[in-house]
Structure 1
């Protein structure tokens, strides 16, 4: 009886080890893909937001799709906050609220969207600046 338990243990242990190794390899492959990913929207985008208040927008999209949003009001006041593209390869901006309550939603594919801040709202549009050589 005890011998059969040992025999089962000797058979099952290597199978568990092989299973966990393939999981580790899959995770490493996913990590490599994420590290090598370059967002097609990477670069600097500039434009304006208009509506009940208006100003300038600057979007700096990083390699992985995170976005540094700079909002300029009245040519003097600058607010910087961070947003992301909704998923890998996506052009949709995940709604992210700035410290002052400014929420930008839309798409870099259409280069436009809407914004909200408290009881104000409006639209925005941007264009991608050429990448320096």
Structure 2
């Protein structure tokens, strides 16, 4: 009888400890998900400006979502050059320098409302203001 209880204790104790650890991880994940859902980027909204430089120039429209993802619309000579998606890095409004499908890359920050760009063998600067 004692051996049977001891054996049950040896099986149940580790399971209890594992379930407590698992419960803590689950609660941490819930809190993290709630924080992400409640987060609102301070840069949320529509930003409009221009880019100019080596041989090309145009208009930039940046639509920043609540979560900080960005829809970039690049307009060149009155025609939409392309629409692509990127995001913000960190709390300083730095743009994630991910290239568009055509290779246009924005560097800079929405905190400073400006930066530089590269496209193929051209480069230049850009600036925007919040609408």
The TM-score normalised by the length of structure 1 is 0.90
2:43 aligned to which of 33, 41, 44: 41
Count of paired positions = 128
Tell me if 1:118 matches 2:120.
Answer: yes
User: Per-residue displacement from partner, 1:80-121 (whole Å, max 9, x unpaired)?
Assistant: 00010013x340000111111100111000000110011100
Query: Residue 31 of structure 1 aligns with which residue?
Result: 33
The TM-score normalised by the length of structure 2 is 0.92
* Cα separation, 2, equivalents of 1:90 and 1:111: 11
> Structure 2: which 5+ runs fail to align?
none
The structural deviation recorded for 1:73 is 0.3
Pairing of 1:67-78 with structure 2 (within 5 A): 67-78=70-81
Residues 90 and 9 of structure 1: is their aligned pair in 2 closer, same or farther, counting only changes over 3 Å?
farther
Max Rg structure? 2
Query: Residue 81 of structure 1 aligns with which residue?
Result: 84
RMSD: 1.4
